[in-house]
Amino acid sequence: MLSSFLPVVTLALSLALHVKGHALITPALGVTGTPERNDATGFNAKNPCGKANIATDLVASNSVAANAQGQFTVKVVNFNGGVDGSRKIKTAQVDPTGEGKTFTPMTIITNGLESPTSDGESDVTVALPPGTVCSGGATKNLCLASFVTDGNFGNCVGVTSESHEPDHCARLNLVE
């Protein structure tokens, strides 16, 4: 009896330990104020932005601005240590339309800690793919960036490009 019960207990404990870890990439779509542990969501390929409503939250949430090289920095906040609370990004993608339907990989320039010993935050810098034009939202200058950590938590962040003027796009190495 004990031998058949042991695998079930082992599985339950490992799952409980796995869901204990949380990390959030900020400024997170749909999160206002200081990020909290319950704002973090496990990554789901069918819903790459977690709890966020992309249609309303992309415009309503704070966003980060891409610089002249198409690079931007986000903050990864973890709420516990270890790999489950990893601040290291394993996947960074962008949807230039802001709809969350078609993502293209971004280049990770500076990454966070894989297995921090405690809670905290790390800056992560990524680069938009060459030729990216952010065209989402009412302002037509928002991209949707999706991030997933090594602990398999993820969410989306809005990214702005200053304008669609041809000279600005040329400076960003983007296509008009």
| Sign of the torsion formed by the C-alpha atoms of 70, 145, 63 and 175 | positive
Parent domain of 98? 21-171
Q: Is residue 157 part of a domain?
A: yes
pLDDT in tens, 103-112: 999 999 999 8
| Among the listed residues 44, 34, 32, the one whose alpha carbon sits nearest the alpha carbon of residue 77 | 34
Q: Is residue 64 part of a domain?
A: yes
Q: Is residue 113 part of a domain?
A: yes
Cα separation, 88 vs 76, in Å, equals 8
156 vs 176, more confident? 156
Q: Is residue 27 part of a domain?
A: yes
Q: Is residue 127 part of a domain?
A: yes
What pTM value is reported for the model?
0.80
